[in-house]
Each structure stands twice: as structure tokens, then as C-alpha cells.
Structure 1
Amino acid sequence: MQKIQTPLTTILSLLVCFGLSTTLLAEEPQATPNTATTTEPPTNTVAENNQDYVIPRPQSARIEALKSSLERRRLSHEIQNLEANGTDFLVLNKASMTDSTQGCVILLHADNEHPDWPDAIAPLRNALPEFSWCTLSMEVPDIIKRGEPIKLATQEEDAQPADSLPNQDEVFARIQATIAQARSENIEQFVLLGYKTGAGYALSFLQQNQTAGMALVLIDIEPTIGISHYDLAQKIRQVAQPTLDYAVQNQAADIQFTAWRKQAANQRTQKNGEYIQLNATPDRVNGNDSKPLLIQRVRGFLKQHTSQITQRKSLPSVNKGLFYTSP
């Protein structure tokens, strides 16, 4: 007996068949006559893709942020852009605030800092001009390159002198360019002042350039890659100029490093000035705020151990007529 389909059942069957046919047709790839199937290559090659990445340059960003800060404080006139060995670098030039400029203090900041770093460089950079010194705070290239892969030392790098500092030639060239620029502005006397790793550069530069500076100031000196505490301390033996060694001496390693520097100073064969070693411990007046004490120590050292010692300001004349009447 055949089953009789109702009109509604017939319609539903037709719709189902039509739906399946449509699905099958949609799943089949539709060939385009006389057209080859091609894959477009990426628009950027490997070299081009490298240009799309932002290369991390922490020091460049740090210096640009410093410039922006100075501009906001209306101090852009202190910015100088100099060149050494084909590389531009920044120097902050703050003129003496008196009419008897003694010379310029060249300041070298610590690694991964900048020429206006607030710990020690900025207070001295801003305070010393009040005492007849201009200040030249110089950008020092980073030793530890942040954001870059660590590479092993090559044989050529191992062959460098044991007492050579990283970036030494570049830093020395920058110091010489800074001095040359200051000389063009009629500055004749210079003091080298370094903070932490910057102190190592200042010491090494004066060791190799005996007549470049009239005095040396080392603040919290610390060694860096490629040189030991002992080898860095021995450089003091060849520095004849007056030297202020101002550092914290709390830990055993600090005390040992301090003793080596004192020993090296005692073994100097040529002495054109004293070697003064002071412990940068807080005093009862300033407490933990060490900046006023730092400024006082450096200012006093420069006053007593450079040509500033001959500076004598005459007392103001008094018009007695303002105080006495004639009989």
C-alpha cells in the first residue's frame, strides 16, 4: 500500500533537497577560467620588517626627556650639543654667577643616568656657580646597554689593557671636546668631578692627561666592567693634583676599597697637592639629607686646593658721614 504524501509534506521535501544542493554548491571551489591561482607575497621583506620595530634606546629617550624638562623650566639656554669622534653628545653649561669666574668643573655622571641626575650631579651643577665656578655636566655613554642582548666578550676585547674602562676612548674624546669648547669661551682652568662610574672615568682621564685639570673630585667612586677595585685604586698613584675622595664607607668592601685608594695615594711619587679622603656619612645638622654636606665639602675643597685660594674679596667701604656728625 503506497503512502500518500500530503501537499505540505511534498513542499518540505523539496525545500530540504534544495537546501542540500545549495550547501554543496557553496562548498565546491569555484574555478575562474583562464586565471592562475597566485599568492601575493608580503609587502614587507625581512629587512623592511626590521624597520617597523622600535629599537629600544634608553639613553636617547633619557636625554630627550631631560631636554624637555629643561625647556619646561626655561633652562634650554644651558643645553649645548657637542661632537666627538663623529658622535653628538649633550653638555649642560651653567655659567658662574659671580664676576670672578675661577674656572669650570666638568661633571661626569654615573652609568644609566644623565647630566642633571638628582643624587649628586644636579646639586653640584646648580650650587657651584654661586661660588665662582661654571659647571659643564657632560653626557656619558651607557656602559650597561639596557634593552640590548648580552654578548660574550671577543678575543679582541680580551686583548684590551686590563685597566681600560668601557667606552674609554669615547668618554676621553668627549672630555677633550668639552674642554676645547670652554677654552674657546676664555675658560682656562678645569676641575674633573665624577660620580660613581663617572668618577672612574675622571680619575683615568687625569691619570693619562696630567695637565688637563687642576684638581680631581671623586664621589662614591666605583669600578665597572673590565677593571677590579684594586686596579682602579692604583690609578691614584699617577695623579699628582689635589684630590678629594668623598665616599660612603659602611660595608666591608667599601672599607677595603677605601684603604687601597689611600695606600695608592701615599705611594705617589709626584705630589702637587693633597689627597683628602672623607667618609660621606650623615652629620647631625643635615641628617639623611646629604646634599648640603656634599656641596659644603666640595666647595671647601675647591676653595682651599685650587687657585681660588688667592681670591680675596675686599670689604665694602663705609661712608662715615652716614653714622657720624661733625662736631
Structure 2
Amino acid sequence: MPLVHRSALPALCLSLILPWTFSVQAADPAAQTKAPEEQPAQRQPLPERSQEDASALARQLPAQEQQQLQAGGDTFLALWKPANASDPKGVVIILPGAGETADWPQAVAPLRNKLPDTDWGSLSLSLPDMLSEAAQPRVVEAAPAPTDKSNTAKDASAEAKPIEQVAGGETDVADRVVAESTEEQVKADAERIFTRIDAALAFAEQQNARSIVLLGHGTGAYWAARYLSEKQPSQVQKLVMVAAQAPANGKPQLAELTPTLKLATADFFYADKSAAQKAALKRLQASKRLKHSNFSQIPLKAVPGNAAAQQEQLFRRVRGWLNPQQTDN
């Protein structure tokens, strides 16, 4: 064996140790420099149900019926059918109710499809989801601050409030917070809907409509009446309400809105439904308190088991009111 000089031993040992150290580091991922942790991708907000419904309609209906209208920063779907006449009478703008689409089978679709044969163009709108009808967030109360255990029982009893008073106060605060939140949401709902009606009126004017009618079904009737009461647009000549219903948090109520309208208003309601009949009676009584009311009510009858006949009845009544010179065959 060749002799190794003492001065060369340290270098020899180092040459033997380093390769083994590097091989261990390569085999152990923990010894390597860790990459910075990646931030989780932010989840995109889910689309509104009304947006999903509109997308489904866009896939099903003919492209020539679809109009993408601009309302503020939003684009929404409206279904347009021009009047089948050389001299149209005007345009009927249809507002569906809560949870309904621009082609809803009850009232909305039958009217939008049949009105063009009576010299009226139809423009049915997609309305946004109602923020005020979403689940209200639960108010979480802060935990009470820790107390000083050195206080005497006498001091504690002197500062304590009755349980009923404390619970009642907390409930009042929570109710007030929820009420204020709901009121703001109702205002936001109204603003979003009003901008869509504005866009619909602008579209109708582009069609050189001689007359414009707002027609609302369900809660759509409430928003149409509220829009006319607050905005008082000169372009709209008539209002048609079908099975009118106010949203759960809608204020003022319909009976307060309809008497203030200065344009011709038709209130179609189903007389065989007790709640609908009582609400319709309140609207009628409110209108009678005014000297120059232009409010009329037309009762309808439900046709159980025959939806087609019920929708045909509604169409004929609406047609007769819009075109009084035509006979209702």
C-alpha cells in the first residue's frame, strides 16, 4: 500500500466526505430550498340564477328574437318580437315576476308571442336576482370582556341588568341591523331593475314606437308600478298588471302606488283566489278615493287542468283592453 504523507490526509478526508454529503442532500427533499408557497386561486363568484336562466334561453330560442341590452355596467337578455303589421300600434315591455324568465310559460311567453299578431311589438326582459330576498346574514355578537374577579358580589349585583332587559336589547339591535340591511338591498334591487327598464324604453324608442306599454306579471307588476310612480316617464302611456304581487320587503305597497299613477292602468287579477281578491279590493278602494283615477280592474277565472285555456283567456282580456275597438271573439 502506498504511503500517504501526513500533510495530505485532511484533503483526502474532505474529498471522501463531500460527495456523500451532496448525495444525501439530493435524496432528501427537505434539505433542498423550498419553493415559496403558492397562493390558492380565488374562487370566482357564482353567476346569478337569472344569468343562468338567460343563458339557457339564449341556447334554446332563435337568435333573431334575442337582444342584448346595456343597463349601466351590465348586459342582459331581452326577447324581442316586432309587430306583424305595417303600421304597429306600439311596443309592450313585459316584466316577469320573481324567479321567472323572459319566456316564462305563465302569462309572459303567451303574451310576448301573441301580442305581435294584434299590432303590438313585444319586448320581454330578464330581471336580476333580488338581493333583498336572499338569506339574511346572522348577526354575531362579540364575546363579553373578562371581568375582574376581585369585584365583590355586591358590586356585581348592583351592575347586573335583568336577563329579560339584556336579551330584549340585543334582539332590538339585531332586528334594526337586519332591517337597515334589507332596506339598502331593496334600494339596490330597484336601481338595477330601473336601469333595465330605462334600457328597454330606449330600445322601444329606437323602433319608433307610437305608444309604449309596461306590462308586469307577479312582482314584475310591482316594479313596473313603482318605476312609473318614481320616474314618471313621458314615453309610457299605459300600465298592465297581471296577478300583481308585491315583494316580501317591497315598500310602499301596491295599494299605495297605483292611485298615484296618472296613466291608464289595468289590473288583471284572479277572482277565485281569496288573497288576490282581497289585495285587488284594496287597490280598487284606494283608486276610488281619487277624483280623476284612470284605474280599472278586470277579474279573471282560473281554469284548473287547462293551462292553455287560462292563458288564452288572459291574452284576450289584455288584447281587448289594449285594442278596445276589436271584438273579443
Query: Do they superpose with TM above 0.5?
Result: yes
Q: Do residues 79 (structure 1) and 103 (structure 2) align?
A: no
Q: What amino acid maps onto 1:124 in structure 2? A: L
1:37, distance to aligned residue in structure 2 (A)? 4.3
Change (3 A) 1:192 1:49: closer
Q: Is the 8 A contact 2:222 2:246 kept in 1?
A: yes
Name which structure has the greater RCO, CA cutoff 8 Å, separation 6+.
Answer: 2
Task: Kindly tell me the number of residue pairs found equivalent between the two proteins.
Answer: 262
2:190 alignment partner, one of 168, 174, 177: 168
Change (3 A) 1:76 1:287: closer
Change (3 A) 1:64 1:266: same
Q: What amino acid maps onto 2:130 in structure 1? A: I
Name the residue aligned to 1:220: 243
Identity of aligned residues (%): 28
Name the residue aligned to 1:276: 296
Q: Do residues 45 (structure 1) and 23 (structure 2) align?
A: no
Q: Distance in 1 between matches of 2:183 and 2:269?
A: 32
Name the residue aligned to 2:50: 59
Change (3 A) 1:195 1:43: farther
Q: Distance in 1 between matches of 2:131 and 2:272?
A: 26
TM-score, normalised by the number of residues in structure 2:
0.70
| Pairing 1:279-294 to 2, within 5 Å after superposition | 279-282=299-302, 289-294=309-314
Q: Is the 8 A contact 1:108 1:139 kept in 2?
A: yes
Q: Distance in 1 between matches of 2:279 and 2:35?
A: 62
Change (3 A) 1:236 1:57: closer
Name the residue aligned to 1:196: 218
Q: Is the 8 A contact 2:132 2:249 kept in 1?
A: no
| Pairing 1:1-327 to 2, within 5 Å after superposition | 33-35=24-26, 36-38=28-30, 45-46=39-40, 48=41, 50-51=43-44, 55=46, 57-70=48-61, 75-143=62-130, 150-151=136-137, 156-157=180-181, 167-210=189-232, 211-227=234-250, 231-271=253-293, 273=294, 275-282=295-302, 289-304=309-324
Q: Distance in 1 between matches of 2:230 and 2:132?
A: 26
Name the residue aligned to 2:168: none
Superposition RMSD on alpha carbons, in Å? 3.1
Q: Is the 8 A contact 1:112 1:143 kept in 2?
A: no
Q: Is the 8 A contact 1:206 1:212 kept in 2?
A: no
Gaps of 5+ in 2: 1-21, 139-176
Gaps of 5+ in 1: 1-30, 312-327
Name the residue aligned to 1:19: none
Change (3 A) 1:171 1:132: same
Q: Is the 8 A contact 2:95 2:224 kept in 1?
A: yes
Q: Distance in 2 between matches of 1:182 and 1:55?
A: 32
Q: Is the 8 A contact 2:269 2:298 kept in 1?
A: yes
Runs of 4+ in 1 over 6 A off after TM superposition: 39-43
